Chains A and B, each alone.
Chain A
Amino acid sequence: MNYDEILSQRIQEIKPSGIRRFFDILEEMKDAISLGIGEPDFVTPWHIRDAGIYSLEKGFTKYTGNAGMAELRREIAAYLNRRFDLQYDFASQIIVTVGGSEAIDLALRCLVNPGDEVIVPVPSFVCYGPLASMAGGTPVYLELKAENEFRLTPEQLRAAITPRTKALVLPFPSNPTGGIMERADLEAIAQVLRGTDIMVISDEIYAELTYGQRHVSMANLPDMYDRTIVVNGFSKSHAMTGWRMGYVCGPAPIVQQMLKLHQFGIMSAPTTSQYAAIEAMRNGDGDIEKMRDEYDGRRRYLVEGLRRIGLPCFEPKGAFYVFPDIRGTGLSSDDFCERFLMEEKVAVIAGSAFGPGGEGFVRCCYATSMRDIAEALTRMDNFLTNLKKKQAREG
């Protein structure tokens, strides 16, 4: 069988991530320290796990409504109102999805016509471009700049817009840079978008993890509510990655179309997870604060540590990543990561894995223990010192 002939062209055109090879090395290396994985190191708080277990004990194992349990959607609406001043009608504007990723896929597939362009700022999480392509669209990558702390600027956006532009993905707070968009930054972007039919897909999965200020959603800005689809979820805020709980909110006519797709592709999000998520919404605000506080301390420690050993990095104000500049080492980010792993057994992720704008940087995740961060910094210092010596010898 010649599967190349059989498989869809679109899927074949999507390049596999180069990161797999790196992970293969890691799997062999049992004692490596990892600042690599992008997920909370906390276990889901017990009261949330308990709610999931309780629902199983009661035998609540059937499908829920397609959009998710009404009770959960009500809680999500209340939560978004309470924490981010966002107003959504639980009945017509919210769908509970299988993680934030499904929500992004739904949004893209419901918006994109063949040939439509989707603007994707990079470096950013890797799913937007491939999902836009699978929806028949063309991703247009927009390289964010370190000197702007990886914020999207209105000039960059304006230059990227064409008559075919259908949507802008707004991935802030950012994985991998830790950059955020403050209200003024968003306002400048909104000014470019008002009066156009361009939709914003705002991936706010890290919204609870900002330091020093609260996250502002694009949907909060005047005239932007109607042109914004908000994607969020429980993975990062409540340390619930494995439960696969996300949600999408937006204008009812769009959300109702997304519901058709969700209904055929997914039926309904996992029932056990939905029961756990209700508990998270009702009694989980304290957990969020506690974890954020913990991340904040580690963030300061890692940033100070990296700067001390000579790797410049801007202060990341969101998510749980630091994105140091490694251009001074003369290595590509791929080489840097592989050599660092082989020589010192510490895993960080090459910035180039997150799109063209990430070359010259590496992603260090601080959602790991203080002890590991301290040890990783010591080894990073060794690595840089040895590298300099080697480079001096080689002249």
Chain B
Amino acid sequence: MKLLQLLEEDCTLTPEQLASMANMTVDEVKASIKRYEENKVILGYKAIVDWDRTDREAVTALIEVKVTPQRGEGFDRVAERIYQYDEVESVYLMSGAYDLTVIISGRTLKEVAQFVGERLSTLEDVTGTATHFILHKYKEKHLIFEKQESQPKEWIFS
């Protein structure tokens, strides 16, 4: 568990660093990671990018989706039909007023609107959608987007 927590926080740590941090041997770390990857406990390793700091345009939307669950398959089949699209970043099954949260990213507002209008809402099991565009990201995966100021360094003998 410790190893997974460490990797979730920073997957750039070397096996040697992970071993010290988790109080394991380097070989144990390597073997565990291999096993986690094979069992899909670790799905992948990705950088968290703030596209607003680049020239690239990016739009993200959170879409509430209401669906009719299918006999014998529940929500899984329709969820699968949605998550297969490359534009879809995340799909979550929700409790409450609607059924699926779908997070979509695209280059432009139009692109996202088109996807919702033409792909998502036309699926036969989808009975309704509500699209919320994300205006600004403050924090994601414990990382804060705004550059944090730090106290100026002063040398003190302590």
Contacts and interface: CB of A to CB of B under 8 A. Distances in A.
A17 B156 CA distance: 11
B134 interface: no
B52 to A, nearest CB: 24
Which label, helix, strand, loop or mixed, suits the secondary structure of the A interface? helix
Given A301-B16, A370-B17, A374-B14, A17 B157 contact: yes
Contacts, number: 44
7 shortest interchain CB distances as A-B pairs: A297-B21, A301-B20, A23-B155, A300-B20, A38-B158, A19-B157, A370-B17
A23 B21 contact: no
B155 A301 contact: no
Contacts of B23: 296-297, 300
Nearest to B148: A43
A353 B156 CA distance: 13
B157 to A, nearest CB: 5
A297 B10 CA distance: 14
B93 interface: no
Interface in A3-19: 17, 19
Contacts of A26: 155
Contacts of B94: none
Interface string A158-195: 00000000000000000100000000000000000000
A27 interface: yes
29 contacts: A17-B157, A19-B157, A23-B157, A37-B155, A37-B156, A38-B158, A39-B156, A39-B158, A125-B158, A126-B157, A175-B158, A297-B6, A297-B20, A297-B21, A297-B22, A297-B23, A298-B20, A298-B21, A300-B20, A301-B16, A301-B20, A304-B16, A304-B20, A349-B157, A370-B10, A370-B13, A370-B21, A374-B14, A374-B17
Contacts of A64: none
A13 to B, nearest CB: 19
A382 interface: no
Contact of B21 (A17, A27, A39, A300): A300
Interface of A: 17, 19, 23, 26-27, 36-39, 125-126, 175, 241-242, 296-298, 300-301, 304, 349, 353, 370, 374
Contact of B158 (A241, A300, A304): A241
Interface string B27-69: 0000000000000000000000000000000000000000000
Given A242-B151, A300-B21, A370-B17, 13 more contacts: A17-B157, A37-B155, A38-B158, A175-B158, A297-B20, A297-B22, A300-B23, A301-B16, A304-B16, A304-B20, A353-B157, A370-B10, A370-B13
A17 B158 CA distance: 12
A304 B158 CA distance: 25
Interface residues on B, range: 10 to 19
A27 B158 contact: no
A301 B12 CA distance: 15
A349 B156 CA distance: 12
Contacts of A296: 23
Nearest to A236: B158
A296 B2 CA distance: 13
Contacts of A39: 156, 158
Nearest to B13: A370
A368 to B, nearest CB: 12
A374 to B, nearest CB: 6
Contacts of A126: 157
A62 B75 CA distance: 60
A375 to B, nearest CB: 12
A221 to B, nearest CB: 29
Most chain-A CB neighbours within 10 Å: which of B6, B16, B156, B158?
B158
A172 B16 CA distance: 30
B115 to A, nearest CB: 38
A206 B129 CA distance: 56
A38 B17 CA distance: 22
Contacts of A297: 6, 20-23
